A and B are shown apart, each in its own frame.
Chain A
Amino acid sequence: MSTQSLDRAEAGMAAFEASTSRWGRITMLAGLVLSLIGPIYLVVFGGLDITSGQIWIAFLAVAATFGVFWIVEPLTYFPILGSAAMYQAFMIGNISNKLLPAAIVAQSSIGARPGTKRGDLAAVMAICGAATVHLTSLLIFVGLLGTWLMTRIPPGLIEVARLYILPALMGAVLIQCIATMKQIRPTVIALALALVVQFALVPALPKAAMFATAIVVVCTILASWFLRNRNIDHTAAIEDIPAIQENEVR
């Protein structure tokens, strides 16, 4: 890539970041306010004799369990999602079981690596596609037909979907992730660290289970950095030239 087109690419990405950050923040604030109006209305105007003390106690009980995740999850997913997709992901929800898999599938189908400009745009577009399918299916099957479907779907099916959706998803996504990255060292490091955390650290320190993903993410980043192959010019990936990436990873 020539210097001139590289400058143009930088400026283009900067404009993209500025626009998505501004609108991402505005839409997220709107979503936050809307999601709170409903319950506040019920509590204040519902005639249900609810005291502020009851709300505080319930909130503190929930905070004691999930408060750590409020901070840890955004920190864990930022290096993967990038700033533009952060505002989408934390509003749409279901990040690890839907949005990240969608982004990986999209990056692998066009052959772009995460962290590159093409990879970032592909991830954002994939999340847009996932959001469209997700919102539409929720509106139709839960909003419109939900109460009717409730009486039609065999409970056994719901039970199996609820119990086993995560393993059914994660096995496939891990394989696709490994196949897309084509990076042997970080793959071996990540798998080894996950096994150690799951089968050694968590049994010894059950409280660590809450942070398991964050611990493995941070340690994999650090280990991949210090154990990287210094003969490879990693900056090539930043330039977004597929041909160079192909040569680099094989």
Chain B
Amino acid sequence: MHPLSIHVPAAAGSTDIMAVANSPLVWACALGVFAVIFVQTFIYIKAARRTAPEIGMPAKELSGAFRAGAVASIGPSLAVVLVAIALLALFGTPAVLVRIGLIGSAATETASAGIAATSMGATLGGHDYTQQVFAVAFMAMSLSGGMWMLATLLLTPILKRGGKRLAQVSPAAMAIIPCAALLGAFSMLAIAEMPKSWVHLITLLVSAAVMTGCLLLAKKLHASWLKEWALGFAIIVALAVAFVAHTS
């Protein structure tokens, strides 16, 4: 055997997924990805701190934006955590951390793994879900996620040059494009949820109603903290309604 081989009873026919999924090197790489993102975050914060005074932006606004982003992501992060825990049995902790928690999303990555398993004539979690099938599915998920990163690495500099030229030719375009893109993206993402089921529709409407209420209240009471927490409240209330509607 190769000296790097895993010191567990690994075999192509074994269905003991956790024996390979939790091997130390896979764990080390997963934690390495976390470390890289922490380093990136640190570098970006430092760069923003250096730039803010130059553009006349108070340091208070920078830390306010950081806090707002952190608070707004509590709800979505806990949702990702819940889904990730549900998938632990299928992929093991390190693969779930990197593929579902970071880089990809639960929907895409589980679908990729399922497609890869099917290409080997097996099903995820089935009696034919062997260590070999897991490794191929993990590899396919990682390669697909890698292609997203590769595309980002290659396209961003090109798009940036295009954006710079556009800004010179027409400053108005640069004021309109980001707003229009954001409104277009979220209109489509929200409306795409409507026809899925009546519970989806109710959940969407409740979430929108809670947000509207919070924003009106925040304006009336001049409570800017409410703007930051509104997203969390909306998610919790909407999910509670969905829970009742789904189980009744």
Contacts and interface: CB of A to CB of B under 8 A. Distances in A.
Contacts, number: 627
Interface string A108-130: 11101111111101111111111
A91 B37 CA distance: 8
Nearest to B2: A45
Nearest to A245: B175
A12 B48 CA distance: 10
B217 interface: no
A48 B242 contact: no
B20 A48 contact: yes
B20 A173 contact: no
Contact of A109 (B143, B148, B228): B228
A243 interface: no
A240 B171 CA distance: 13
Nearest to B226: A109
B176 A225 contact: yes
Contacts of B184: 190, 193-194, 213, 216-221
Interface string A21-53: 101110111111011111111110111111000
Interface in B10-42: 10-12, 20, 23, 25-26, 29-30, 32-34, 36-41
Interface in B30-69: 30, 32-34, 36-41, 43-45, 47-48, 50-57, 61-69
A59 to B, nearest CB: 5
A46 B51 CA distance: 48
A104 to B, nearest CB: 7
B14 to A, nearest CB: 9
B65 A101 contact: no
Contact of B207 (A67, A172, A181): A172
B138 to A, nearest CB: 5
B231 interface: yes
Interface in A199-250: 199, 212-213, 216-221, 223-225, 228, 234-235, 237-238, 240
Interface residues of A, number: 175
A218 B131 CA distance: 44
Given A58-B137, A79-B178, A128-B69, A93 B103 contact: yes
Interface string A74-101: 1111111011101110111110111111
Contact of B37 (A41, A61, A135): A135
Chain B interface bracket (under 10, 10 to 19, 20 to 34, 35 or more): 35 or more
Interface in A116-168: 116-119, 121-135, 137-139, 141-143, 146-147, 149-150, 153, 155-168
Given A50-B136, A90-B148, A164-B200, A142 B191 contact: no
Given A25-B153, A91-B102, A126 B189 contact: no
A142 B88 contact: yes
A11 B147 contact: no
A232 to B, nearest CB: 9
A220 B108 contact: no
A191 B73 CA distance: 25
Contacts of A128: 41, 44-45, 48, 66, 69
Contacts of A198: 188, 191-192, 194-195
Given A147-B88, A178-B183, A118 B80 contact: no
B76 A169 contact: yes
B187 A88 contact: no
Interface string B167-211: 000011111111111111111111111111001110111111111
A1 B55 CA distance: 10
B113 to A, nearest CB: 9
B68 A109 contact: yes
Contact of A183 (B12, B72, B183): B183
Contact of B149 (A28, A102, A110, A174): A28
Contacts of B159: 74-75, 78, 83
A234 B73 contact: no
Interface string B139-179: 11111111111111101110110010000000111111111
A115 B76 contact: no
A143 to B, nearest CB: 6
29 contacts: A13-B54, A15-B50, A34-B32, A38-B25, A42-B6, A58-B119, A61-B116, A62-B116, A65-B112, A74-B156, A88-B41, A90-B103, A105-B68, A109-B65, A125-B62, A125-B65, A129-B68, A131-B37, A137-B74, A141-B78, A160-B239, A163-B246, A164-B242, A187-B183, A216-B184, A217-B181, A217-B184, A225-B176, A228-B172
Closest 6 CB pairs of A and B: A12-B54, A126-B69, A220-B184, A171-B207, A129-B69, A129-B70
